[in-house]
Amino acid sequence: MKAPYFWSAGLDPRSREAAPLTRLLLTPFSMIYLWALRRKLARAAPETAPIPVVCIGNLTTGGAGKTPVTEAIRNRINERGLRAASLSRGHGGSQRGPLKVDPARHVYGEVGDEPLLLAQSGEAWIGRARPEAARAMAADGADIIVMDDGHQNPSLKKDLTLIVIDAGAPFGNGHVLPKGPLREKVPEGLARAQAVVLMGEGPVPRDVIASGLPVLRARLAPVSRAPAGPLVAFAGIGRPQKFFDSLAEAGGTVADAVPFADHHPYGKGDIQFLRRLAKDHSAHLITTSKDHVRLPPEVRQEIHAWPVTALFEDIAALDAVLAPIFKRAITP
């Protein structure tokens, strides 16, 4: 779904844009949601996996950069000589798993967009039942699991949890779903983590400072230059505007920009609309790598994918946070 405008930060809570009546009506639903999550967490008996589990989580509904961070940390672990594999739920896919994703064989409708994207650069698995998937990954020979999302899922014990936060828009309007974008209260979510990954430019949020957790700074960087000429950009991610702004900052000439809902499944009508728009602007179509894997296979060749990667400012600080995981993985 598209994030409602009243979820945005910085709005006057009494203004029409902040939808005070809508927020008031949603308050009981937020209270029920929060009660149910707290109850689930309190009653859980997490299963311990045979191998270490690193959880890359967040506190909001999306757009913080979890998947690029998952990829970067999986790659860093691999660089240290260990076999790391990502684990995702497989949102949007028909397969329940456990399943090792093969980008040459699987499609978005089977495994979801994020696992398919992660499988293009390394080992990726899906599993709706995370403990079962963890056992399968260990049996297959993986040394460490890097879980993309799952901070609010208590079924599998995490050895290390990193919370990814967008420095430019940390917690939206500060309210819990559906009144705001938060999955849980910020202090409660941070209390179950060991570190924070702060993405992009911006101050460290007060709640993060109060938590005392180490903060790792990182940013999303394009893998390649923006294509020359006019571009019609489109994206169905947590915060499409971040993609449009990044493309323009990298020198891209964005003639038009079309936001879609997060995880939007592109159909024939969408492609026809985008083609007409590109023709009107004499432009090329461009989208994110995550969106590109959701496109119908027959149209991918005509649409540019613009991949990004997560770059950590201080690799030594990242290694220090990961050190207990390295130790457990190599200790018999």
pTM of the model: 0.91
**pLDDT digit string, tens, across residues 69-104:** 999 999 999 999 999 999 999 888 899 989 999 999
Tell me which of 3.30.70.20, 3.40.50.880, 2.60.320.10, 3.40.50.2300 is the CATH number of domain 224-306: 3.40.50.2300
Handedness of CA 226, 4, 183, 189 (dihedral sign): positive
How confident is the model at residue 255, as a pLDDT? Answer: 95
Domain spans of the chain?
Answer: 53-220+311-330, 224-306
Domain 53-220+311-330 of CATH type 3.20.20.140: no
pLDDT range class, residue 171, cuts 50, 70, 90:
very high
The sheet that has 84-88: what strands, in order across it?
99-100, 124-126, 84-88, 144-148, 53-57, 160-166, 195-199, 215-222, 308-312
For residue 1, the SS3 value is coil
Give the mean model confidence (pLDDT) for residues 42-50: 96
Give the mean model confidence (pLDDT) for residues 57-62: 91
Residue 217, pLDDT > 90, answer: yes
How confident is the model at residue 3, as a pLDDT? Answer: 76
pLDDT range class, residue 328, cuts 50, 70, 90:
confident
pLDDT range class, residue 332, cuts 50, 70, 90:
low
**Lowest pLDDT segment from 33-37, 152-156, 169-173, 184-188:** 169-173
